[in-house]
Structure 1
Amino acid sequence: MFKAVIDAGYNSFRLVIYQIFPNHTFRIHSSLKFFVRIGEGITEGGKIREDRVKEAERAFSIYRKILENKKIEDVKIVATSAFRYASNGKEVAERLEKAINNKIEIISGEEEGRYSATGMLNTLPINDAILFELGGGSLELIEVENRKVNKVFQLPIGALKLLHNDVKEIRKIVNDALSTVNVKKFSTLIGSGGNIRALAKMDSKLSSYPLKSIHGYSISLSSIEKYSSLLPSLDIDARASIPGISKDRALTIHTASIIVNELMKYFNANTLIVSAYGMREGVATEGFTLTRDDWLDAIAYYHALEPPKEIMIDAMNFFDGKLSYFVASASYLSLVFKQAGYLNPFEACYRFMKNAVLPGFTLEEAYLISLICKSAHRKVKKKQLKFLKQIDVHKKEINSLGNIVKNLVDKYVDGVKI
């Protein structure tokens, strides 16, 4: 089945169509974004400009054409901070409802934060942390303890909203706003939002990170401090020339980097973990709690296969070291690709992990799984381990784990153990 979510944000509008699997996981089937910037120029109680409304109507008419063509009836549209701030927000939403022939829900800051938290909790191994979603017009801060949302705060801080303030003013505005919230200062900071993902893309490209995904990617405080100093000194064309930064995102990336820098300092966080998923995925998975096992099963469902759960149990029983779950995951994925007909399932697993997103895992964990798959058919080299900063493992160990995976997978024919 398919479900569509439209996020009518302060800076951009995005339609995402999800293929929903039997265990309530998903894959993104298609996505279309327009930088409508509907919140541009809005002051508290002011009005959304008519030219922005017409741009929004144009975007929604295109979305309607796609949804009707695909015959998708399960559609949820959420409008965020611009619609909350503007005196004509409700009126504009009603106009857009006519353009798309669907109901639009203007959600509160707390609802936005809870959706964001759900999207991140369902796609990353989070326990105790501060989560945030940085949009164009607002910042949602969420305190999470034992994987449960304790508190949600919505602050009127956004990368587009603060665009015309200088660096010192932005830093002061952020710190003044943070001083009004009462949350625990967990050192694990996890962020989502378009600008956060852009920072991750830029950092990963500059560091030549071997995986293309940025879900679960880590950026150090020192890197964020460097970007928050450099990016504001460049004009928009210079920012757009940096790898990973599009022309549209170059408008606000420097403002976002300053906000993130202040957040990291406030929470004494040395590392920012980036989520590729947030509010939209929270809307898509609302009411369900998803685990790593669920996301592994999603790969099987995507290949129209019954999840081969037995090999996970075999692997965990055979190897009970600190990396046992990752060995089991590499075995599971390799078996899925074997059943799907790939001539070299271990190479297929390695290539998949390099080029796709595996929710439920940090990016370093995903990279570890890719190396275990690779070592099942070709030895890994020492230089490939340099990106494993949090996981202590050496080359010999990786190669021995690959042999375990190969031996386990070779025992299965068409998903049946022989």
Structure 2
Amino acid sequence: MKQTRLAAIDIGTNSIRSIVIETSGNGKYRILDDEKVLARLGEGLHQTGAIAPAAWERAIEALTRQKKIIDGYKVSAIDAVATSAVRKASNGAELVRAIKKSTGLEIEVVSGEEEAELAALSAQHNFELEGVRHLIFDIGGGSLELISALGTHTEEMLSLELGAVFLTESFLKSDPVLGTEHQKLRKHIRKSLKTAYTGERTGMQCLVGSGGTVTAIAAMVAAARKEKFDSLHGYELLRSEIVHLLAMLARKSDKERRAVPGLNPERSDIIVAGVTVVDELMDFFQVNHLKVNERGIREGLILRGLRRRNLLPEKKLRSWRDSALEFAHSCHIDEGHAEHVARLSLQLFKALAPRYGWGPKEMRLLDAAAIMHDVGYFISYSSHHKHSYHLIRHADLFGFTPRERELMANIARYHRKSVPKKKHEEFTRLSPDDQLLVARLGGILRLCDGLDRRRNAVVHGVDCALTQDTLELTLNGEEEMSVELYGAKAKSDLLQEACKVRLVLHCGVSESQ
């Protein structure tokens, strides 16, 4: 199938970002290059109404370099947009002409509503939002875009002058930030939201946020939690964490903020204003849960470009399970074995769930890990359980947070060979609660993998009887099951240890058959 390469450039108030992708026209794409420059195009714009000469030069320099990089990939098209700063500046149109002359780039200056549409396009592509009332927002340097929606049905779309650079220059003059200044900033944000938003505020189930402020918040919270992920896309934050983070940042000087783990020092001067906007948004809509969309407007540009060129199929409802199966297929797994192990695993899960208070979230972790547990074969049979860990951890799986990917990777890793040990760095960096969850769910998967030792679904199902210290399993099937019985006994160690139960196994038919 022919590969098409496209590029997108987002010229924002604070940063200029470019991305190059390759697609086969099936709606999926892979990123070939991703470049970001903090050009601070909006620096001083609030005071003068124009883009400053230094910012102008930084933008031209960044775009000249990015255009050369893009040209190297021989893309078939470039979609480039400029947002709040260029839109507002008295010399914005002049800058667009200068960019065209210097780089050959055709820049589209988009409205605030178009920015919001691009942010929504990205969020709906990346998160399970069907039937969920939610708020999508993107915080840039100059503006804040808001989209309230139920599933894919937009209720209200707004663009407000509540960007991190604009608010910092307008309200936060002192270092550290004075309490009086911060209170004025809060009041301004609240008044702006109350004046502009006319829809129903109650019943909002979650917020999906994008932009540099949001990813910076996620990085700081992850650092405080001592969590290390390759990507923070899909990371989940609680309101309490935002409140505590803001209180800490507001007390510090700019020099002290530069040393905060997870925060890019180049964002230290505008981070208080940005986090305040997020805090006020969560308070305004009374939402406790924020999901991080690392991709935002630039991905929205890519998706819009794919759609315009008929390279994006009609949207189909995606699910986390479809995503896991799709990834497993790409690694050429034995689907029959994977699905059978998943079915048996869920039978054991239902027996143990009431004891441990497990619900749908834990169930899907086990189900998906079971589907993907053998993806490591794609690399090599030898140590394939370790390869499965790395492949799952780095996979782009729809509907899962970074923490959930890490948990599934560990669950799959322990389906064979060693049980968790202190020398296993991937396991020991989990929280104690997550370590226990991995051991228990991994124990279930490990046992059920043994129950399909011959990979021919001889064990049709399992009847489970759980007492205080004993888990009794009766294997149901129509054929002789001695190999499966042996496989289950050999792989029952982790489950027995993690769940503190003695395992008793029976065959539902005569073992001599």
**TM bucket, shorter chain:** 0.7 to 0.9
Q: Any idea what SS the aligned residue of 1:208 has?
A: coil
Query: 2:383 & 2:441 partners in 1: Cα distance?
Result: 22
Matches within 5 A, 1:239-258: 239-258=257-276
Q: Which amino acid aligns with 1:18?
A: I
* Partner SS for 2:247: helix
Q: Structure 2 CA distance, aligned partners of 1:411 and 1:308?
A: 9
Matches of 2:282 and 2:321 in 1, distance apart? Answer: 31
**Secondary structure in structure 2 of the residue aligned to 1:18:** strand
Is 2:248 aligned against 1:233? Answer: no
Relative to structure 1, the CA distance from residue 84 to residue 388 in structure 2 (aligned partners, 3 Å threshold; closer, same or farther) is farther
Q: 1:225-281 CA distances to partner (integer Å, 9 max, x unpaired)?
A: 122122122222211211111121212112111111111111112232222121111
Q: Give distance in 2, aligned partners of 1:265 and 1:298.
A: 38
Q: Secondary structure at the match of 2:294?
A: coil
Deviations 1:329-356 (A, max 9, x none): 3344444431243633332232344456
**Mapping of 1:90-129 within 5 angstroms?**
90-126=93-129, 127-129=132-134
Distance 2:257 2:38 in 1: 17
- The answer on whether the counterparts of 1:214 and 1:363 sit within 8 Å (CA) in structure 2 is yes
1:324-403 mapped onto 2 (5 Å cutoff): 325-341=364-380, 343-354=382-393, 358-377=397-416, 378-380=418-420, 384=430, 386=432, 395-403=439-447
Q: How does 1:125-144 map to 2 (within 5 A)?
A: 125-126=128-129, 127-144=132-149
Per-residue deviation at 1:124?
1.9
| Structure having greater relative contact order (Cα 8 Å, sep ≥ 6) | 1
> How far off its partner does 1:18 sit?
2.1
Q: Distance in 2 between matches of 1:272 and 1:240?
A: 24
Secondary structure in 2 aligned to 1:43?
helix
Deviation readout 1:40-70 (Å, 9 max, x if unpaired): 2223992222221121111111012112222
Instruction: Choose the corresponding residue for 2:211, options 185, 193, 196.
Output: 193
Q: Does 1:270 align with 2:314?
A: no
Judge which range, 246-255 or 93-102, deviates more: 93-102
Structure-2-length-normalised TM-score: 0.71
CA shift in 2, pair 1:210/1:113, >3 Å: same
Q: Distance in 2 between matches of 1:406 and 1:74?
A: 51
Aligned letter for 1:254? V
**1:92 counterpart letter in structure 2:** L
Which one-letter code corresponds to 1:145 in the other structure?
L
Instruction: Please say which of residues 211-220 and 69-78 is displaced more in the overlay.
Output: 211-220
Q: 1:26 is matched by which residue type in structure 2?
A: Y
From the superposition, tell whether residues 264 and 153 of structure 1 become closer, same or farther in structure 2 (CA, over 3 Å): same
1:68 partnered with 2:71: yes
Q: Is the 8 A contact 2:17 2:298 kept in 1?
A: no
Give the Cα–Cα distance (whole angstroms) in 1 for the partners of residues 254 and 443 of structure 2.
46
Structure 2 Cα separation of the partners of residues 293 and 97 of structure 1: 46
Q: d(CA) in 2 for partners of 1:111 and 1:408?
A: 53
Deviations 1:163-211 (A, max 9, x none): 1313112211110111021233304122111111011111101111253
* 1:155 maps onto 2:164 in alignment: no
Q: Does the CA contact (< 8 Å) of 2:239 and 2:289 recur in 1?
A: yes
**Distance change >3 Å, CA 238–CA 45, structure 1 → 2:** closer
Residue identity over aligned pairs, in percent, reads: 26
Whether contact under 8 Å (2:411, 2:441) holds in the other structure is no
Q: Distance in 2 between matches of 1:270 and 1:42?
A: 34
Show the counterpart of 1:171: 186
Q: Which segment drifts farther, 65-74 or 330-339?
A: 330-339
* Structure 2 letter corresponding to 1:197: T
**Partner of residue 25, structure 1:** 28
CA contact (8 A) 1:330 1:349 kept: no
Q: Given that residues 216 and 364 in structure 1 are in contact (C-alpha distance below 8 angstroms), is that contact kept between their aligned partners in structure 2? A: no
3-state SS of the aligned residue for 1:133? strand
Instruction: Note if contact 2:375-2:387 (Cα within 8 Å) is conserved in structure 1.
Output: no
Cα offset for 1:132? 0.8
Alpha-carbon displacement from aligned partner over 1:333-391 (angstroms, at most 9, x marks no partner): 444431243633332232344456544322343233223212313445898465669xx
Q: Distance in 2 between matches of 1:149 and 1:132?
A: 13
Structure 2 unaligned regions, length at least 5: 172-180, 351-359, 422-426, 457-513
User: Rg bigger for which structure?
Assistant: 2
Asked if the contact 1:47/1:86 (under 8 Å) is kept, the reply is yes
1:56 maps onto 2:59 in alignment: yes
Contact 2:218 2:292 in 1 (8 A): yes
| 1:416 aligned residue | none
User: Structure 1 residues 260-269 or 353-362, which shifts more?
Assistant: 353-362
1:401 corresponds to which letter in structure 2?
L
Q: Which runs of 5+ in 1 are unaligned?
A: 413-418
- The alpha-carbon deviation at position 97 of structure 1 amounts to 2.3
* Inter-partner Cα distance in structure 1 for 2:337 and 2:125: 24
Task: Find the residue that maps to 2:248 and give its secondary structure.
Answer: helix
- The residue correspondences of 1:27-42 to structure 2 (distance < 5 A) are 27-42=30-45
Q: Is the 8 A contact 2:81 2:108 kept in 1?
A: yes
TM-score by length of 1: 0.86
Cα root mean square deviation, aligned = 3.1
